[in-house]
Amino acid sequence: MNLHVDLKYRQWSLAFFTTFIFLICGSIVIIANGIYSIKNENQSILNTAVAEIDSILYSSQNTIYDTMPLVGLSCDDLKQKLIGIIVKKPSFESINISKSSEIICSTYDRLIHTTNIDASYPNNELILVKSKVINSGGAIGVIKESFNNYEVSVGIDVSAFFSSLYLINPDIDFKVEALGKWTDRSGDIYSSYYENNLSSKSSKYNYKVSTYISLNNYLSGIMLGYGWHFILLIFIAVFVWYFSYKKSAEKVMALLMKNSLEKKHFKPYAQPIMNSKGELKGLEILIRWEHKKYGIIPPDMFIPLAEKTGLIIPMTRQLITDTIQNLEYSYCHFPKDFHIGVNICTQHCKLINQISLLASCQEFMDSQISKQAYLTLELTERGLIDDIDEAKILFERLQHMGIKLAVDDFGTGNASLSILSNLDFDFIKIDKSFIDLIDVNTENSPIVDNVIDLAKRLNSGLIAEGVEKQVQIDYLKIKGVDYIQGYYYGKPIQLKLFIDEYLGKYKRE
Ligand code: C2E
Ligand code: CA
Ligand code: CA
């Protein structure tokens, strides 16, 4: 499998996985939030129901206290007064006076001589009873107070418990339970078990209001109330997918690079640099990623990300060490004034990264190679140097150590003349794009001439990059360019091979 296909595959998988996790987490949050809100909403409806019922019971209790002093009156007189009260209270069915549990006077004629009110029932509490005469055997709420063998009670229409709440939420089916009996909107009375998972207890009386919210209720509630959250989630997931797809390519690649760096799969390749007479005067180290699975990966495919992630710092360090070791172990001699070019980037100029580069340079200076060759660091003009002062400190230190500096890709990038004159470069490498302008038909190439002129005025040695044709060599020679690098003389090859092929004849015995 090649790197591109594998990266795409990994990119898709990672983006898919990230989006999937995002959708799962998002859905869990929406559902949890939905359940919490539905529960809260229903809880507050139950609390409202309790407040409503409490107020009915409280008003019944007051009616009982108002009635108690009147118990001595004849039933006819009493009834007259009580009817006056009851007409103002739509939730009251009846006001009754009973003695030994038998109603002896009631606003509702048919109740007289019934035994609905049991003296043993607790006072001032809601009692749910099956009505003998009202509501054709359905539930009726009763609240009573006993005194001197009498009981004054108020019969309450249980539908009053439900009516106002029905207006708030007709879907919630709640039950009112008191003393082991319960009733609901149907108005019937039961004492069997009923399922409930949400309730609100009155703090003043002995009843509770409860309901059961099934999973289906939750799901349909969530779909109805939070459906648009899911639409939004899917919308965001598209963005998550897009960004993670974009980011995951980098992540996967960075991981591969890190892994390969540990396994030392980044190798130095070398390309010869000749003088105008065609004699070998140097080499440029060009990194190659020798991946076991994907083969040789060219630097353009990974250097930009290595710079972005900072991996370029340990990568360059490893490359320089590898180069020194290869050259040292080969026991080769170098032609006079030989230059070993190594590419660095603007990251290396930052104070935090300078230590690593300086250590590499020290390693070179401590090696046998430094006695016969120069190390030339090539800084590309394409990157921006953030802090010119930081770079200046580095350049001074490097030059003090005996390291040469070259500006790479000259003419293509961001190096302003002020940077070029501020930082003292030993060499200028004219970019291949200018060399390409020189052709058989070119008598003179004003742009190339200008670049060469400018470079010359900066008082640096000149290297032409990407030279492929004899005509270019001839032209550059006339213009006084000192060094030539390009496929004309040789392509980059493994450093070990380069040593055999180019430095073999200089080898020490
Ligand atoms: P560069 O430093 O400008 O290196 C010259 C590039 O031009 C090399 O490409 C080389 O193979 C290619 N080249 C040389 N002569 C010719 C020619 O005659 N014709 C053509 N068509 N190409 C020629 P390569 O090795 O693919 O490197 C590409 C770039 O990657 C380098 O450009 C450099 O900017 C970067 N690079 C390579 N190695 C390193 C490294 O170790 N560190 C850093 N920071 N960058 C590196
Ligand atoms: Ca270079
Ligand atoms: Ca270049």
Transcribe 135-194 into DSSP letters: GGG-EEEEEEEEETTEEEEEEE-THHHHHHHHHH-TT---EEEETTEEE-TT--EE-S--
- Tokens for 107, please give them: 């606003």
- The DSSP annotation for 364-417 comes to HHHSGGGGTEEEEEEEETTSPPS-HHHHHHHHHHHHHHT-EEEEEEETSSS--H
Three-state DSSP state, 204: coil
Per-residue pLDDT at 506: 63
The pLDDT of residue 364: 98
In this structure, the residues whose C-beta lies within 6 A of any atom of ligand 1 are: 271, 286-287, 298-300, 303, 312, 316, 319, 343-345, 378, 380, 408-409, 432, 465-468, 485-487, 492
Return the ligand 1 atom nearest residue 429 CA.
3
Question: Which atom from ligand 1 is nearest to the alpha carbon of 492?
Answer: 11
Contact at 8 Å (CB) between 112 and 172?
A: no
User: Rounded to whole angstroms, how far apart are CA atoms 68 and 98?
Assistant: 12
The tens place of each residue's pLDDT in the chain, 509 residues long, gives: 677 788 888 889 989 999 999 999 999 999 999 999 999 999 998 999 999 999 999 999 999 999 999 988 899 998 998 998 888 888 998 999 998 878 899 998 877 777 767 778 899 999 998 887 666 778 889 999 998 889 999 999 998 888 877 777 787 788 999 999 999 988 899 999 888 999 999 999 999 999 999 999 899 999 998 999 999 999 999 999 999 998 888 888 999 999 999 999 999 999 999 999 999 999 999 999 999 888 999 999 999 999 999 999 999 999 999 999 999 999 888 999 999 999 999 999 999 999 999 999 999 999 999 999 999 999 987 777 778 888 889 999 999 999 999 999 887 876 656 667 778 899 999 999 999 999 877 667 788 888 888 888 888 899 999 999 999 999 999 999 999 999 999 999 999 999 999 998 666 55
- Identify the pLDDT of residue 484: 97
Best CA proximity match to 451, nearest among 440, 469, 438: 438
> Distance between CA atoms of 32 and 130, rounded to whole angstroms?
42
Ligand 1 atom 6, closest CA: 466
**Whole-angstrom Cα distance, residue 157 to residue 266?**
89
- What is the per-residue pLDDT for 148? 84
Can you give the pLDDT at residue 507? 62
Strand partners, 461: 427
Q: Residue 219 and residue 101: Cα distance in Å, rounded? A: 50
- In 217-357, the DSSP E strands lie at 266-275, 280-291, 295-297, 338-344
Q: H or E segment at 472? A: helix 470-478
Ligand 2: distance of its center to the CA of 408 in Å?
Answer: 6
DSSP states of 431-469 = -HHHHTT--TT-S--HHHHHHHHHHHHTT-EEEE-S--S
State residue 474's pLDDT score.
93
Q: How far is CA 218 from CA 49, 229, 230, in A?
A: 21, 15, 15
Give this prediction's pTM.
0.69
Rounded CA separation 126/111 (Å): 19
How far apart, in Å, are the Cα atoms of 467 and each of 431, 440, 462, 475? Answer: 10, 13, 13, 11
Which pLDDT does position 109 carry in this prediction? 81
Q: Is the dihedral of CA 210, 214, 220, 222 positive or negative?
A: positive
* CA nearest ligand 1 atom 41, residue: 287
| Nearest protein CA to atom 16 of ligand 1, as residue | 466
Q: Whole-angstrom distance between the N-terminal and C-terminal Cα of the chain?
A: 45
- Which class for 6: exposed (0-12), middle (13-18), buried (19 or more C-beta within 10 A)? middle
Per-residue confidence (pLDDT) for residue 247, from 0 to 100: 84
Half-sphere exposure of 258 (CA within 13 A, CB side): 8
**Could you tell me where the beta strands, DSSP code E, fall in 294-335?**
295-297
Q: What is the side-by-side order of every strand in the sheet holding 102-106?
A: 102-106, 92-99, 150-156, 139-147, 127-130
> What is the whole-number distance in angstroms between the Cα of residue 286 and the centre of ligand 2?
8
pLDDT at 508: 57
Note whether 18 and 248 are within 8 A (CB): yes
Long-range contacts of 486-491 (CB under 8 A, 24+ apart): 486/432, 486/435, 489/272, 489/274, 489/278, 490/271, 490/272, 491/271
Q: For residue 417, how many other CB atoms are within 10 A of its CB? A: 10
Q: Whose CA is nearest to atom 7 of ligand 1?
A: 466
CB 194 within 8 A of CB 175: yes
